[in-house]
Amino acid sequence: MTVDQAVAAPTRPRFRASVELAFPAALLVLLVGAVIAFPSFRVVGTYLDILSFSSVLFIIAIGQTLVVIGRGVDLSVGSMAGLAGAVFATLTVSGWSSAAAAGVALLLGLAVGAIAHGLLITKLGISFMIVTLGTYSLLRSQAQVVLEGKSITIDVGWLDALSNGRVLGIPSVVLLAAGLYLVAVLILRCTGFGRALYATGSNPLAARLAGLPIDRVTIIAFAVSGLFAALAGLLTVGQLGSAQPGGGAGLELTAIAAVLLGGTRFSGGFGSVTRTLVGVLFLAVLNNVLYAAGVSSFWQGTASGAVLIAAVAIDRSRKE
């Protein structure tokens, strides 16, 4: 071993550890700074509001986490959320029962994820970037077609209660996101699908040679991503009380940023929904701090973009 190798070897674990703790530490510093600087952060209601508004993003990010662990990415989740909300609102005002309309919207998300994404990627060998970029544009266009370029206002009691109601003082949407989080944790840690997903993301060729059904695993991951995006679309309609042609715009990049911020590797095979939760909370607190500081909302996209670049840079340093 050379002198340089001997010096460098013991520092690598420390460097990796510091990288892993970068954003959790940044989140803690941001929270402490916010509590000191802004009186609004000293009220419990502020944190409940942050959790409520970030729950929709977290639901999308859970599905995105599964896809990224499997060495993929879904660029269409924002468009899928917008289309699901548009379909739900249109069917409801057309006379369908709200439950049936919601079922159609959720099935649409599931079908797009499983068929338009999963099958095209696994059976035809098309790059996931190309497929999901194509459906990003296609689904966004169809949302505008369904709504005819106009917003539709609706009032559905159960959806309003789920999106804006509270149970024992806790927002219902937060409880829903927490339930989905626990299910995702159990699936990734305690099921054969979870182990196969990590193996597929880590080394697809080795996983295939080991007899793992990597095509089925990939299809399921994209199906869950589409389903959760559709669910997020319904919740957004419930929160806003309307479906809009631009619904869900930008959620895809924000979800990817949250996943990477948490430490899930873009190269696949490593990550968790708990890490994604940290990423979502970091972005939510950052946006609220900017708002409390009086920074224009136009700058929030700049901040999110800069954080996304930083997340990718950190992900790159982890691999190295």
Closest CA to 223 of 244, 197, 205: 197
> What are the structure tokens assigned to 63, written together?
């599905």
In this prediction, residue 145 carries a pLDDT of 94
The pLDDT profile of the chain, 320 residues, written as one tens digit per residue, is 444 444 444 445 554 555 566 667 777 777 777 778 777 776 777 788 888 889 999 999 999 999 999 999 999 999 999 999 999 999 999 999 999 999 999 999 999 999 999 999 999 999 999 999 999 999 999 999 999 889 999 989 999 999 999 998 899 999 999 999 999 999 999 999 999 999 999 999 999 999 999 999 999 999 999 999 999 999 999 999 999 988 888 889 889 989 988 888 888 888 899 999 998 998 888 888 888 887 777 777 787 778 778 777 776 766 55
In this prediction, residue 41 carries a pLDDT of 72
**Rounded CA separation 301/174 (Å):** 24
> What are the structure tokens assigned to 97, written together?
């029962």
**How many CB atoms lie under 10 A from the CB of residue 149?**
9
**Rounded CA separation 266/256 (Å):** 9
Closest CA to 91 of 106, 76, 79: 106
